[in-house]
Amino acid sequence: MSILQNLKRRPAQTSRSVRRTSLVLVAVLALYALLAAVGAVDGAYLGQGAVVLIAAFGAYGLNLITGYAGLASIGNAGFMAIGGIIGWSVLESTGSFELALLLGGVAGLVSGGIVGAIALRWHGFYLVLATLAVQAIVVFVLQEIQLAPGSEYLAGFTFGPMTFFGVDLFDDTTWTVLLAVLLAVVVLLIAGLVDGRFGRAWMAIRENERAADVCGINVVWMKILTFAIGSAIIAFGGVLAAAYAGSMSYESFTLEVSTSFVAMIIVGGLGSMAGPLLGALVVRLIPYVIQSNGNTEVGRALNDINGGTGLPFLQTILYCAIVLAFLVFEPMGLANLGNRLRGLLARRRRPGGGDSGGGDPGGGPPVPEPPRNDPEPVGAERSRA
Amino acid sequence: MGTLGAALNGVLLLSAIYALLSLGLVLIFRATRVLNFAAGAIGLVGAYLVYELSTIFGSFYPALVVGIVVAIAFGALIYLGVLSPISGARASIGASTDVGVVLGTIILAELLIAAVPFFAGSRGRPVDVPLPAWQWSAGGLTISSLQIVAFVLMIAVVVGVAVGLRRSPLGLRMRAAADSPRLARLNGISTREVATVTWALSALVSMLGVLLYATSTDLQPASAAGLGAALFPALLLGGLDSIGGCILGSIVLALVQSFSAVYLGGEWMAVSPYIFLLLVLIVRPQGFFGKAEFSRL
Is B141 domain-assigned? no
Q: What is the mean pLDDT of chain A?
A: 80
Helix runs in chain A, H state only = 2-37, 43-62, 76-94, 97-119, 126-146, 172-195, 197-207, 209-214, 219-245, 255-268, 275-292, 297-306, 311-329, 337-349
Contact between B194 and B174 under an 8 Å Cβ cutoff? The reply is yes
- Nearest-CA distance from A285 to chain B in Å? 18
Beta-strand ranges (E) seen in chain B are: 135-138, 141-144
Is B148 domain-assigned? no
- Give the CA dihedral B4, B5, B7, B8, nearest 10 degrees: 120
Q: How far is CA B29 from CA B32, B93, B156, B163, B178, in A?
A: 5, 21, 21, 18, 9
Q: What is the DSSP letter of B219?
A: B
Phi and psi for A248 in degrees, rounded to 5? -135, 150
Q: Considering only CB atoms, which chain B residues are within 8 Å of A385?
A: 185, 190-193
Here the contacts of B251-256 (C-beta below 8 Å, separation 24 or greater) are: B251/B11, B251/B15, B251/B19, B253/B15, B253/B18, B254/B10, B254/B11, B254/B14, B254/B15, B254/B18, B255/B11, B255/B15
* Three-state SS at B124: coil
Phi and psi for B136 in degrees, rounded to 5? -130, 130
Secondary element (H or E) of residue A157:
strand A157-158
- Nearest-CA distance from B144 to chain A in Å? 32
Residue A308's pLDDT is what?
66
Q: What's the domain range around B102?
A: 2-119+165-294
Residue A61's pLDDT is what?
93
Secondary element (H or E) of residue A168:
strand A167-168
Is B134 domain-assigned? no
Which of A350-364, B101-115, B138-152 has the least mean pLDDT? A350-364
CB pairs under 8 A between A and B: 235
Q: Considering only CB atoms, which chain B residues are within 8 Å of A324?
A: 82, 86, 104, 107-108, 111
Across the interface, do A327 and B95 touch by the CB < 8 Å criterion? no
Chain B contact present for A359, CB below 8 A: yes
B93 closest CB neighbour out of A207, A208, A331: A331
C-alpha A165: how far from chain center: 27
With b for 16 or more beta-carbon neighbours within 10 A and e for fewer, the B157-174 pattern comes to: bbeebeeebeeeeebebb
The domain tally of chain B equals 1
* Three-state SS at B241: coil
Secondary element (H or E) of residue B261:
helix B243-263
C-alpha B11: how far from chain center: 16
B87 closest CB neighbour out of A122, A220, A383: A383
Across the interface, do A331 and B106 touch by the CB < 8 Å criterion? no
DSSP string, B35-75: --TTHHHHHHHHHHHHHHHHHHHSSHHHHHHHHHHHHHHHH
- Measured distance CA(A132)–CA(B289) in Å, rounded: 23
Contact between A368 and A10 under an 8 Å Cβ cutoff? The reply is yes
Percent of chain B with pLDDT over 90: 7
* Chain A residue at shortest CA distance from B32: A383
Confidence of residue B179 (pLDDT cuts 50, 70, 90): confident
Is B126 domain-assigned? no
Chain B contact present for A381, CB below 8 A: yes
A359 closest CB neighbour out of B35, B92, B110: B92
Dump pLDDT digits (tens) for B218-256: 777 777 777 878 888 888 887 777 888 888 888 888 888
Across the interface, do B97 and A129 touch by the CB < 8 Å criterion? no
Is B160 domain-assigned? no
Q: Which residue of B118, B173, B227 to mutate against A (max A Cβ within 10 Å)? A: B118
Dump pLDDT digits (tens) for A279-329: 999 888 888 887 777 677 777 777 777 666 677 788 888 888 988 888 888
Across the interface, do B285 and A331 touch by the CB < 8 Å criterion? no
- Nearest-CA distance from A88 to chain B in Å? 24
Across the interface, do B111 and A331 touch by the CB < 8 Å criterion? no
* Three-state SS at A247: strand
Percent of chain B with pLDDT over 70: 88
Q: Considering only CB atoms, which chain B residues are within 8 Å of A128?
A: 35, 102
* Chain B residue at shortest CA distance from A143: B267
Across the interface, do B93 and A270 touch by the CB < 8 Å criterion? yes
Dump pLDDT digits (tens) for B92-143: 444 434 678 888 888 998 899 888 888 877 676 777 777 666 777 766 677 7
- Measured distance CA(A138)–CA(A19) in Å, rounded: 36
Confidence of residue A148 (pLDDT cuts 50, 70, 90): confident
Residue-range domains of chain A with CATH: 3-254 (1.10.3470)
Instruction: Flag whether pLDDT at A5 surpasses 60.
Output: no
Residue A147's pLDDT is what?
85
Across the interface, do B281 and A143 touch by the CB < 8 Å criterion? no
The highest-confidence range among A158-162, B27-31, B154-158, by mean pLDDT, is B154-158
Residue A381's pLDDT is what?
37
Please, which residues have CB within 8 angstroms of residue A47's CB and are 6 or more apart in sequence? A172
Across the interface, do A66 and B103 touch by the CB < 8 Å criterion? yes
Is B174 domain-assigned? yes
Dump pLDDT digits (tens) for B59-83: 888 888 888 999 999 999 998 888 8
CA-based nearest residue to A324, from B44, B43, B22, B38: B38
Q: Which residue of B107, B276, B279 to mutate against A (max A Cβ within 10 Å)? A: B107
Confidence of residue A127 (pLDDT cuts 50, 70, 90): confident
- Nearest-CA distance from B200 to chain A in Å? 14
Across the interface, do A118 and B97 touch by the CB < 8 Å criterion? no
Is B130 domain-assigned? no
Q: Which of residues 313-332 of A touch B (CB under 8 A)?
A: 313-314, 316-317, 320-321, 323-324, 327-329, 331-332
Amino acid letter for position A189: L
